[in-house]
Structure 1
Amino acid sequence: MPQPNQAALDFLLSRSSRPAKTLKTPVPTRDQLLPILTAAARVPDHGKLVPWRFVVLERAALLRLADLVRRLGPGLGIDPEKVEKSALNFGGSHLAVAVVFVPRDSEKVPEVEQLLSAGAACFSLLNAALASGWGANWITGWPSHDEGFCREGFGLAAGEKVAGIIHIGTETSVPPERPRPDVAEITTWMTE
């Protein structure tokens, strides 16, 4: 019988993101953030390609991104309410980490596997922040998928994309438990 890490399993069975708008100061210092980033980098990465990187967004950068959302959104035809909601996601935050998908040329590792690794880095970053006692939330939204916004806002190179933005801070309220999938309904057991 394997020896379970019951504390880790209990954490995973009870983990829950915190709404970004409820995350306030204090936020992790650089020294406190480094172990979280280190944990996030320990994800499956077939071929050891490291098809992702981190962009730490401190308060001034987040305010700049909120302004950029308000400047670019109308010209892209984005509904004004969506523009303001996205601007508040940035402007209301005090620390966030963008996980940038960086596809690598590889004959052995298809791009979809590299993208999944970047998604795993997002989830690992989220969980590491939560496990460290911080509140955290993974948000994307239209700015994260707009090439012009990402190039100007995050300094992304051609071919890079934002996989996710993890907001981290001190939680001010614990959200109620939300319904979770019924595992029996989404699981198929193949015996042959």
Structure 2
Amino acid sequence: MTEPNLAAMDFFLARRSRPAKILRPPVPSEDALRPILTAAARVPDHGKLEPWRFLVLEKPALTRLAGLARTRGVALGLDPDRVEKGVLQFSDADLVVAVVMVPRPTDKVPEIEQLLSAGAVCLTLLNAALASGWGASWLTGWAAHDPEFCAAGLGLHASERIAGLIHIGTETATPPDRPRPDLDAITTWVRE
């Protein structure tokens, strides 16, 4: 057995996302964000397909996306509270990394494995931001699943989709931890 990395295990046993609504400036600079993105790109990637890419959304882009979310939400006939929640996700943010799932045509790696790789990018990006001392939260929301919003606002191609919107910033409060799963209730030991 190799020597355990106790600091990493302590981090994983205590890690927790920070709600996006409590994240404010300062946010990571491009230089500070690069190692976080580099860590995120080191996920399992069967076939070395890189079925994901990053869009780093800064304040001017987020303000534009908030306006588009309002327009699209109204056009879709969504409940006003739901529209407003979609708008605030962008207007209240100062830095968001959109992880875009980019399916690659191949007979060797099913699309579900490519999607799971994109999800692994989201979680690793979130954890790398937290480990770097930033507050971070992984969200999506209705706008992230609206093809017209994604095409017009983010330039996504028809085959691409948002795997996650990772909000990163400085945490302004520490909310109480949420209850965690009962390990015995979700674990089955198969010994034969």
Shared fold (TM-score, shorter chain, > 0.5): yes
* Residue number in structure 2 paired with 1:97: 97
Post-superposition shift, 1:86? 1.0
Distance 1:144 1:84 in 2: 14
- Map 1:69-80 onto structure 2 (within 5 A): 69-80=69-80
Cα-to-partner distance string for 1:135-185 (whole Å, 9 max, x where unaligned): 000010000000000001110012000000000000001121110101111
Distance 1:113 1:77 in 2: 34
1:162 aligns with 2:162: yes
* Residue number in structure 2 paired with 1:84: 84
- Map 1:18-167 onto structure 2 (within 5 A): 18-167=18-167
Post-superposition shift, 1:6? 0.4
Distance 2:153 2:51 in 1: 20
Instruction: Give the aligned CA root-mean-square deviation in angstroms.
Output: 0.6
Percent of paired sites with the same residue: 66
Aligned AA for 1:159? S
Post-superposition shift, 1:65? 0.5
Instruction: Please list every run of at least 4 consecutive aligned residues from structure 1 whose deviation after the TM superposition is greater than 4 angstroms.
Output: none
Aligned AA for 1:171? E
* Residue number in structure 2 paired with 1:17: 17
Distance 2:126 2:83 in 1: 25
Distance 1:174 1:132 in 2: 17
Distance 1:54 1:137 in 2: 16
* Residue number in structure 2 paired with 1:184: 184
Instruction: State the TM-score, normalizing by the size of structure 2.
Output: 0.99
Post-superposition shift, 1:2? 2.7
Distance 2:12 2:69 in 1: 34
Cα-to-partner distance string for 1:42-97 (whole Å, 9 max, x where unaligned): 10000000000000000000000000011111111111101101101100000000
Could you say what secondary structure the match of 1:73 adopts? helix
Instruction: State the TM-score, normalizing by the size of structure 1.
Output: 0.99
Number of residue pairs the alignment of both structures matches: 192
Distance 1:140 1:158 in 2: 18
Distance 1:186 1:47 in 2: 31
* Gap runs ≥5 in structure 1: none
